[in-house]
Amino acid sequence: MAARSGGTTEVVGVPARRIEQTSGLPLVEDAGSVAPSDARALSKLFFDRLQDLEEGTHAYAYARNTLIEMNISLVHFAASRFRNRAGDDAEDIVQVGTIGLIKAIDRFDLSREVEFATFAVPYIVGEIKRFFRDTTWAVHVPRRLQELRVDLAKAKERLALELDRDPTVTELAADLELSEDEIIEGLVAANGYAAGSLDSHAVDSDDGKDRRTFADVLGAPDPAMESVENLHALAPLLAGLDDRERQIVRMRFGAEMTQSQIGAELGVSQMHVSRLLSRIVKRLRTGMCVVS
């Protein structure tokens, strides 16, 4: 607790070598180790003085930084609620929680007659939740779909208990008062929450020796697919040729006859066959460009 005696502020229970008057505030040498009960009393003193200090001054920075260090335990308390989701991000959670603490300090007003801890924890938790919302999705999706995923998960769990089976899209839409298209969009977007590694095992043999990964069984592009697409696009264009033109195309590209052999077959010169082929090929190429 803080008390004044002979113009000097004394603080009971503060683990510091000495406490001196610093711009109307006690000098707390190790603010992070102040007991929570003493931190509450000290925080009131520092907040009361902070509102009179000019921002940007050394005294203001000292008061603000000390408040942050004294109340960092609130961040650790809030972060502990997310320990099951933290994983390797525990340090990041404390950091973003500290941002929430700083925001609470900057916006706190003693005149509200509310304990600082009561005011600060929602700010800290909000920052942590925002961190999970913005960083845990493997694929970025709009915020409304992120929130819809949570609503869908709750609705699916609740309806599964009531119906003793997985709910349908129609039942989910009725429960959440949304359209079926919105439900489908939310279910599809939920697939982007987590991504599996291509190095994870996909197929296990009976003897346990053959442990192939998803990368091992992943299909590769088929080089023949482009030819199939071209043939499908070319078919209606060939159907648009007259009988003689189709015969020339069939002899040249199907039977692989030379221009001279085609000319002999049709009773025309090789030069005439060349002109006919050029005209036909140009027409087909133009048609292919239009189709694509």
pLDDT at residue 2, as a whole number: 44
CA distance 246 to 232: 16
Cα distances (Å, whole numbers) of residue 36 to 39, 71, 72, 115, 253: 5, 8, 10, 13, 88
Domains of the chain: 2-135 (no CATH), 143-217 (1.10.10.10), 226-291 (1.10.10.10)
pLDDT at residue 175, as a whole number: 92
H helix or E strand, kind and range, residue 197: none
Q: What is the DSSP letter of 52?
A: T
Nearest to 2, CA basis, from 52, 54, 49:
49
pLDDT at residue 204, as a whole number: 54
pLDDT at residue 41, as a whole number: 82
Instruction: Name the token pair of 71.
Output: 């109340």
Radius of gyration of the chain (CA): 37
Question: Cα(first)–Cα(last) distance of the chain, in Å?
Answer: 80
SS3 label, residue 144: helix
**pTM listed for this prediction:** 0.47
pLDDT at residue 173, as a whole number: 92
pLDDT at residue 1, as a whole number: 41
Nearest to 67, CA basis, from 13, 111, 120, 5:
120
Cα distances (Å, whole numbers) of residue 69 to 65, 73, 154, 267: 6, 8, 38, 100
pLDDT at residue 165, as a whole number: 92
pLDDT at residue 284, as a whole number: 87
- Averaged over successive runs of 10 residues, the pLDDT of the chain (292 residues) comes to 41 41 69 80 86 85 90 90 68 90 90 86 90 71 82 91 92 92 89 72 56 74 80 86 88 89 89 90 83 46
